[in-house]
Amino acid sequence: MTSQTPVILAFDTSAAHCAAALLRGTDVVAAASEEMGRGQAERLMPLLDEVVKNAGLDWSDLTAIAVGIGPGNFTGIRISVSAARGLALALNIPAVGVSTFDAISASATLAHLAVVPAPQDKVYIAPVGSGPSLTSMGEAHDFGLPLALPPAPADLVVAMAGVAHRRILAGVPLSAPAPLYIRAADAAPARDAAPVMLPDDDDGQ
């Protein structure tokens, strides 16, 4: 194996799936994808181990990690990014964060607007020249470009590996992957009063 043919393990859990692919250069050596609304935290590492072993390789054969950074499900993104950072540290290899927008554009051949489905019939967009945002599908159509949606999870991670491959070959500076959050978290403060951890001094205790 040469520096021109990196072996890249790519994975993504930014939506209701757990998907991974292992590429040697541009060749897909092994891949797996499972639809799941929850349970990615428990399934991700075993799935990655299966993909590596099914390729007849060992973890030490990897030269880079590619991970989906969103936008998408907050918990899913955190799961993948944390795993990628841990693996990169343990294996002493780079981890490349790839947005779903970049993965979509990597597969597109014509001018387009990459859109990622979001809750409540909204979509995430990242128009050229402006930052990513959350909008309606109708407003996305107002840009006057064909809308490009994410491919199937198995194809999505392959595209992510391809993006990472090109960045590595181009010598693009790589930093630790970080989640791409566009909207505020859905979690709301608890309505119940917080428990009293220590009694007040006035209680005489």
- The mean per-residue pLDDT over the stretch 37-65 comes to 97
Question: Residue 192 falls within a domain, yes or no?
Answer: no
What total number of domains does the chain contain?
1
pTM: 0.87
List pLDDT tens digits, range 69-92.
Answer: 999 999 999 999 999 999 999 999
Higher-confidence residue of 189 and 150: namely: 150
3-state secondary structure the chain: CCCCCCEEEEEECCCCEEEEEEEECCEEEEEEEEECCCCHHHHHHHHHHHHHHHCCCCHHHCCEEEEECCCCCHHHHHHHHHHHHHHHHHHCCCEEEECHHHHHHHHCCCCCEEEEEECCCEEEECCCCCCCEEEEHHHHHCCCCCEECCCCHHHHHHHHHHHHHHHHHHCCCCCCCCCCCCCCCCCCCCCCCCCCCCCCHHHCC
- The mean per-residue pLDDT over the stretch 2-25 comes to 91
Question: Residue 198 falls within a domain, yes or no?
Answer: no
Higher-confidence residue of 124 and 203: namely: 124
pLDDT of residue 107: 83
Question: Residue 175 falls within a domain, yes or no?
Answer: yes
Question: Residue 114 falls within a domain, yes or no?
Answer: no
Question: Residue 188 falls within a domain, yes or no?
Answer: no
- The mean per-residue pLDDT over the stretch 30-35 comes to 97
- Of the chain, the percentage scoring pLDDT greater than 90 comes to 78
- Please state which of the ranges 117-121, 126-130, 174-178 shows the lowest mean pLDDT: 126-130
- The mean per-residue pLDDT over the stretch 157-177 comes to 93
Question: Residue 168 falls within a domain, yes or no?
Answer: yes
Residue 197 above 50 pLDDT? no
**Residue 16 maps to which CATH number?**
3.30.420.40
Residue 190 above 70 pLDDT? no
Question: Residue 134 falls within a domain, yes or no?
Answer: no
**Domain encompassing residue 74:** 7-100+151-183
Provide the b/e sequence for 78-104 (b: ≥16 CB within 10 Å).
bbbbebbbebbeebebbbbbbbbbbbb
Question: Residue 146 falls within a domain, yes or no?
Answer: no
pLDDT of residue 144: 94
Higher-confidence residue of 190 and 18: namely: 18
